[in-house]
Structure 1
Amino acid sequence: MGQIDMNRYERRPITAGEAELEYLDGEFRVLRPGNFVRCAVTGVAIRLEDLRYWNVDQQEPYAGPEAKLRKLGVKGVKTQD
């Protein structure tokens, strides 16, 4: 008793709160369940289903291409903070 076994057809409940991810090339791995991560530049919450931009080397998520360019130091880039 204590451990709940689930078969492959059952879905685990999504834990509300901030997730911890490992950013890989073209995908990410969930290390701690949650439903969002915070943009490394703006601090805005990004739902996991909306996450499209990250840096594998820095292990950082970005809210969009503008945030990633701003992180890279490209001048004149505005983000939605």
Structure 2
Amino acid sequence: MSTIDYKLLKGEDLFTYFTQDHPDKELSSLVEMLPLALGDWSEAVRILEELVRDKRELIAVYPEFDNIDTSKMELLGCIPDGLLYLK
């Protein structure tokens, strides 16, 4: 079985890899919510490409349960029961 070098993927292929084939299922679910949080498919793909290129992270914050300092994170938008940030 060959390994996919996702760093070479772009656009819809990158999104599909993260939502269907990536071994980290928590990250997969966050990537799946990215278009919802941003309200824009093109922007979601751009952010995902930036995340891979710059080794950034998606962070879900659920204010009812989490006490996380988000002052150095970029707010991307709302997700069910919380907020999605780029770190």
- TM-score under structure 2 length normalisation: 0.29
Q: Which has the larger radius of gyration?
A: 1
Which gives a bigger RCO, structure 1 or 2 (Cα 8 Å, sep 6+)?
A: 2
- TM-score using structure 1 length: 0.30
Q: Going by fraction, where is strand more abundant, 1 or 2? A: 1
